[in-house]
Amino acid sequence: MKRYLKLILIFILFLSLGCKTTSKITTVNPDSSTDKYKVYEQAVLWQQNAAEYKALCFQAYNTAKLNLENYKGKQFLRPLAVITDIDETVLDNSPYNARMILSGKGYTRESWLSWGKELKARPIPGALDFFKEAFKMGITIFYVSNRFDAQKPETIANLKKVGFPGVDENHVLLRTNTSSKEARRKQIEEKYQVIMLFGDNLTDFSEEFEKQPTAKRNALVEKMKTQFGKKYIVLPNPIYGDWETKGIFEGSYKWTTKQKDSIRKAKLRLN
């Protein structure tokens, strides 16, 4: 009997040691203050691996290429321009999100700035071909992003590194005092005829979408439906965006992880 008890104790000790070893090498903490692991892992995996994601990007940029045909060989009162967002529109930052998932740590300004300085963001599928074609036609490209203005040197360097055309101090317009892009768009429209805008977030196209709840955002899309695929070219981004922060979470950044989980469940449509 004593022998069996001894074996049982050894087995329990073995299991205990095994659990401790596992906890030491595990980098993901689903109970941490961030809910990135629980919610965003599938979204990041989809963006990085799904052929469907790549197909949607090619579809967006192929549509934009077709639109260019309408402007070939014609004269216009003002020079033509296109305005594009940068992150998840021309540059893929999903590795930054993957790192957050595996570390169990949420977004911080410091970690985002550090990622940008690595110059490792790759082109979104289809983006390079389109912007090179537009540039070759003499169309001016403006890269309008809500990256911090302090990131301009590395942003320009990353865009140039992967081959985007027309990249310089005057054509990369980053955030200074406000996240709204409307003033920057109007500044461009004073001198140029903007024929297309590209983005993964609806505020990349119009100020009407700013700080709007989900119902209003959807109503505005219905109102502007003829513009999508023509003037407005939307790129897929399941990882983050105003659809979540301003829509699902109603503009509040104070929800706890449990509250966020409850809000998501409450907003699931069952029919």
pLDDT of amino acid 4: 46
pLDDT digits (tens, 9 = 90+) for 75-92: 999 999 999 999 999 999
- Dihedral of CA 210/240/47/222: which sign? negative
pLDDT digits (tens, 9 = 90+) for 1-49: 545 444 444 443 434 434 433 333 234 443 444 454 567 899 999 999 9
Angle between helix 94-103 and helix 109-117 axes, rounded to 10 deg: 130
* Share above pLDDT 90 across residues of the chain, in percent, rounded to a whole number: 78
Q: Mean pLDDT of all residues in the chain?
A: 88
Contact 140, 171 (CB under 8 A): yes
pTM for the full model? 0.85
Contact 212, 244 (CB under 8 A): no
SS3 91: strand
pLDDT digits (tens, 9 = 90+) for 15-27: 443 443 333 323 4
Give backbone dihedrals phi and psi of 232, rounded to 5 degrees, phi first: -105, 120
Q: Give the model's confidence band at 253: pLDDT under 50 very low, under 70 low, under 90 confident, else very high.
A: confident
pLDDT of amino acid 237: 97
Task: Tell me what the mean pLDDT of segment 231-252 comes to.
Answer: 94
DSSP state of 166: S
Please check the confidence at residue 176 and state whether its pLDDT lies above 70. yes
Fold held by 30-266: Rossmann fold (3.40.50)
pLDDT of amino acid 38: 64
pLDDT digits (tens, 9 = 90+) for 106-150: 899 999 999 999 999 999 999 999 999 999 999 999 999 999 999
